Structure 1
Amino acid sequence: MIAGWGKLMSDFSDPNHRPLRVITFLAAHATEAFTLAEIARFLNLSKGSAHRVMTALTDAGFVSRHPRHKTFTLGMALVAVGQAALDRYPGVAIARREMARLNAELNVGFGATAIVNNEYLLLGREGTPRTYDGLALVGERRLVIPSIGIGQMAWRSPDEIDAYLDRGAAYLDPQIREHLLATMPAIRRRGFSMAAEGVGLHQLIKATVIAPGQSDEEVLSAAAITGAGEISASEFQMLDWDEAQGRGVNYVAAPVFSPDGDVCLEIVMSDLPEGLGRSEMERYAAKLVQAADLVTSEIRGRKPKPW
Structure 2
Amino acid sequence: MSPLCCCFIVSVCVTALASGLPPPRNVRLTSHNMDLYLRWRPPENLSNQIFYSTKLQASFDSVLSRPACVNTSALFCELSEPGLKLTLLEFGQYNASVRALSGNEMSDWVYSQPLTMDKDTVIGPPMVALVPQGACLEVSVKDPEFRVSSMTNVFGLPQYNINYWPRRRAHQASHMQVRQNRVVLSGLEPWTEYCVQVQIHVDPARNQNSAEASKPVCESTADMPSPPWITAVVTFVALALTVAVVVITVIYHKQIFHFLCPKHSLPQPLQNLPECPHAPLFVPEEQCHPLTMIPWQDEGEHLTANS
Which interval holds the TM-score relative to the shorter structure? Answer: under 0.3
- Normalised TM-score (structure 2): 0.23
Q: Which has the higher helix share?
A: 1
Give the greater-gyration-radius structure (CA): 2
Q: Which has the higher strand share?
A: 2
Q: Which has the higher contact order (CA 8 A, sep 6+)?
A: 1
